[in-house]
Amino acid sequence: MSMLPSEAPVDPRGFKSFAEFYPFYLSEHRDRTCRRLHFAGSTLGLACLAVLLLTGQWRWLFIGLACGYLFAWIGHFGYEKNKPASFKRPLYSFLGDWAMYRDIWLGRIKL
């Protein structure tokens, strides 16, 4: 019985552009439940942003961010079994979440 060599972990800090990073980002979101949790968290985050704009109460910004990250982290730690790339590449990860959200709405990624 032969053992396949394990893939070397990818350091997300090595990507020079978001275009290079995004395929890696998607590879870290293969689990459907993880993607669904990201989508739910992002949708709640947008809803909180709308409430902020309607009420002027800044606490909704923090509630929205908490919803987005909480749902995403549950998806990663509970289902995907990996660490979110936001720990090493926060801006690219934030952009990746919204690019994935857009791609789900456009039907490019299955939910």
pLDDT tens sequence across 39-93:
999 999 999 999 999 999 999 999 999 999 999 999 999 999 999 888 889 999 9
Q: Whole-angstrom Cα distance, residue 73 to residue 84? A: 7
- As given in the structure block, the two tokens for residue 26 are 């998607």
pLDDT digits (tens, 9 = 90+) for 1-24: 444 444 667 888 899 999 999 999
Would you call 79 exposed, middle or buried from its count of C-beta atoms within 10 A (0-12, 13-18, 19+)? Answer: middle
Q: What helix, strand, coil percent values describe the chain, rounded to 5?
A: 70, 0, 30
Is pTM, for the whole model, over 0.85?
A: yes
